[in-house]
Structure 1
Amino acid sequence: MKTLFNNYLNTFNGLSREVWWLALITLINRAGTMVIPFLSLYLKEDLDFSISDVGWVMSAFGLGSVIGSWIGGQLTDKIGFYKVMVFSLLATGILFVALQFLTTFVSFCMGILLVMLVADMFRPAMFVALSAYSKLENKTRSVTLIRLAINLGFSAGPAIGGFIITTLSYSGLFWVDGITCILAALVLINVLNPKTTKLIDEIKAKNPKSAYHDKAFLIFLVSMMFFGVVFLQYFSTMPIYYKDVHQLTEIEIGVLLGMNGFLIFVFEMPVIKWLENTTFTKTGLMLFGGLLTGLSFLILNFTPWTGVLIFGMLLMTFGEMIAFPFSNAFAMDRAKKGNQGEYMALYTIAFSIAHIFGHNAGLQMTDKLGFKNTWYIITILAALCVFLLFILGKYLNRKKKLKEEEEKEILWI
């Protein structure tokens, strides 16, 4: 057992001090966003919004995320990741506190759009910072550490949020969310100030390439949008399926969903460490992750046995823990060719768009077509993701061979 534990700890070796600080800041920030899981309940119970109104608020939430990610990327390229991150955290903290005072439908839609616009400016800037503070061989594991921080934050956040609602009411959530964002900003200012930290992989492209003209990256983005729509079903339609079709209790649903976070915490870093030392390409690994995630839906239609839910969750979890880190690493690698902020903004926007359409589409399909047909459609979307990643791999191989042939011709000359 001691050897296993030491081997697990060794998978974290080599990551820079700055990456660890980024992980802590992300943990504080994500644990603090405890308003989000309770937002629909707050709007329905405290503000008496209708279900339709709540749906529009969530659309405003997603739209703000898309706009914020784009602006964050543009600003990161112009003024640097540090200033964008500090501004985003400080301003988000203030806006979260102010959000509780908006009680009408229109004002809350505008408010949540502004909050998410400012909050998600942080994401592309953080990815650029992560790339700058990571050695080339550690970038995928650095992303994995940030994912562990996000998962821990999202696990702790709802539990703390439920306690705060019970003791302080919903208004307490807004105050705690705001304060934690400001605390994260103060930690960032103290530990990652450019005057006291050294960049490990500073990238300055002489002739930066626009992400919009990078064909490979655009294929990648479309595949990630499909993957996002598929993956997000586990947080909207799947819990309803567990309850309505398999009659699971809330506690059983919680345990099943909690298994996802636990498995990621235990296995993701060792799995990524091992895969990094293999000959598999990033596109091949993303393809495999998408395949596992798609299969997690398909197998649900083969048997009414409730135990299949565990196998489905296992497939999805390992698909997620392979696809996400290597897609992050792929995006950061492509970003070296041009405007890093723009590249990472488009990467985060791909998942923001999935948020806008994924939840609603899944719920509408289950209502109109039933769960069985919905799972077939979701599997087809996963297949499209896998197909695009296959095309991407072929395209990159062809480009690589052409480049090698050109270099040979130059050597002969």
Structure 2
Amino acid sequence: MYKVLNHYKDSFSGLSKEVWWLALITLINRAGAMVIPFLSLYLTDNLNFSLEQIGWIMTSYGLGSFFGAWLGGKLSDQIGYYRVIMGSLFLTGISFIIIQYFTSFWSLCLSFFVLIAIADTARPAFFVALSAYSKPQNKTRSLTFIRLAINLGFSAGPALGGIIITSIGYNGLFWVDGITCIIAGLVMIQTLNPKKTKELDKEVVIENPIPAYRDGIYIVFLIALALFGFIFVQYFSTIPLYYKEVHLLSEEKIGLLLAMNGALIFFLEMPLITYLEKTNLSKIGNVISGFILTGLSFALLLLTPWAGILVIGMIIATFGEMIAFPFGNAFALERSKRGRQGAYMGLYSMSFSAAHIFGHNSGMQLIDRIGYHNSWIFMTAVSAIGVILLFFVVKKIKREKPIT
């Protein structure tokens, strides 16, 4: 037991003070992120929208994310990651508080576009900040640590969110989300002000940098990641509906099931990534493994109506997420050294924004037209296509000449 605890402790060693502060800011922000996991339920139960309407609202969400990621990448290169993150946190907090007062279909489409555009300008900026605050040998673990903070927040958020819904209603979620964003911004002012911190790995501007959109290998990698995101976002849109409509779970039980995802990540991801870094498997190889596990979680739902399969599927999907995301992030950061980091990481964030644009809406349309069973077959097939693309990336990287 002591050996296990010691290994867990060692997995956190060597991370910079700035990374710890960045993780705390992320934790505060994400602990209040209760609206998103319950968004599809809020739109059906509270506002009585149809599945088709919810799909289009989710598409607006994705379009806002796509635009915000592009803008955040540009601004990070122009004015710096600190200003981008600060502006995003404060404006997102105000937007969450305001958006609860919009109830019509078109007003929600527009307001969610604006809200997520503002929120996601910070995504590429966070990646650039993390790269600056991390030693080169610690980047994958630093990324994993930030994800741990995100998922610890998400593990508390859905569970608390379910309680808030049953006690004071959905509007309470918007207030908590908004206030926590503002608190995260205040903590950042006190801890990561450029006058108080130092960069451990400054961006090196190379001669004739490769524009991110002209890096063919990187583009194929991002297409595969977008497909991974396409199936992964189902856990925040169609899967909660599946839990409620097919397995008749309450919001509180759905929240606890989603919270299990964050709890597993909190206890297992850092030691798992530390272990996998010591193996001979490449970053892309690990992404492939994670992709396969996530696809398998959907295939399992086809096997039996037994409710216990939901827990097994969530566990397998969580392991897929734990492996794919950190190594996918690390590969993107490593690749960004060929150009401007903000632009590269902006494009990386945009790949997941594309998943939000098409994933939520397509998932809603699919279950409305062909049902849950056939939709899970479709998601399994999408995962297989993504894996094939990643094998193509591995093949191309082996033939590639290194940049000097």
Structure with larger RCO (C-alpha < 8 A, sep 6+): 2
TM-score for both structures, normalised by structure 1:
0.89
Cross-structure match for 1:106: 106
C-alpha separation in 2, matches of 1:287 and 1:351: 17
Structure 2: tracts of 5 or more residues without a match: none
Shift of 1:364: 2.8
Deviation digits for residues 228-265 of structure 1 (CA, Å, limit 9, x no counterpart): 11222333333444566566676665554443322222
Cα 1:296–1:97 shift into 2, 3 Å: closer
Larger mean Cα displacement after TM superposition, 245-254 or 186-195: 245-254
Larger mean Cα displacement after TM superposition, 115-124 or 44-53: 44-53
Deviation digits for residues 76-105 of structure 1 (CA, Å, limit 9, x no counterpart): 011110110111111212222332344444
Shift of 1:318: 1.5
Q: Secondary structure at the match of 1:36?
A: coil
Deviation digits for residues 283-323 of structure 1 (CA, Å, limit 9, x no counterpart): 11111111222222234445566554444333322111111
Please state if 1:127 is matched with 2:154.
no
Cross-structure match for 1:229: 230
Match for 2:336: what amino acid?
A: A
* Structure of higher CA gyration radius: 1
Mapping of 1:61-72 within 5 angstroms? 61-72=61-72
Cross-structure match for 2:192: 192
Cross-structure match for 2:334: 333
Please state if 1:219 is matched with 2:220.
yes
Asked whether the 8 Å contact 2:154–2:259 carries over to 1, the reply is no
Larger mean Cα displacement after TM superposition, 241-250 or 52-61: 241-250
Structure 1: tracts of 5 or more residues without a match: 408-413
Shift of 1:52: 4.6
Percent identity among equivalent residues?
57
Mapping of 1:7-18 within 5 angstroms? 7-18=7-18
Shift of 1:266: 1.4
Asked whether the 8 Å contact 2:58–2:361 carries over to 1, the reply is no
C-alpha separation in 2, matches of 1:278 and 1:151: 25
Q: Secondary structure at the match of 1:336?
A: helix
Shift of 1:56: 3.1
C-alpha separation in 2, matches of 1:49 and 1:242: 19
C-alpha separation in 1, matches of 2:379 and 2:93: 37
C-alpha separation in 1, matches of 2:170 and 2:256: 25
C-alpha separation in 2, matches of 1:169 and 1:251: 13
Match for 1:30: what amino acid?
A: R
C-alpha separation in 1, matches of 2:376 and 2:368: 13
Cross-structure match for 2:92: 92
Please state if 1:23 is matched with 2:23.
yes
Match for 2:56: what amino acid?
A: W
C-alpha separation in 1, matches of 2:239 and 2:101: 33
Cα 1:25–1:236 shift into 2, 3 Å: same
In the alignment of these two chains, the number of paired residues is 403
Shift of 1:273: 0.1
C-alpha separation in 2, matches of 1:286 and 1:259: 22
C-alpha separation in 2, matches of 1:117 and 1:252: 31
Cross-structure match for 1:380: 381
Mapping of 1:291-302 within 5 angstroms? 291-302=292-303
Larger mean Cα displacement after TM superposition, 61-70 or 234-243: 234-243
C-alpha separation in 2, matches of 1:367 and 1:104: 22
TM-score for both structures, normalised by structure 2:
0.90
Q: Secondary structure at the match of 2:149?
A: helix
Cross-structure match for 2:395: 394
Cross-structure match for 1:369: 370
Shift of 1:67: 0.7
C-alpha separation in 1, matches of 2:232 and 2:66: 18
Cross-structure match for 1:343: 344
Cα 1:198–1:233 shift into 2, 3 Å: same
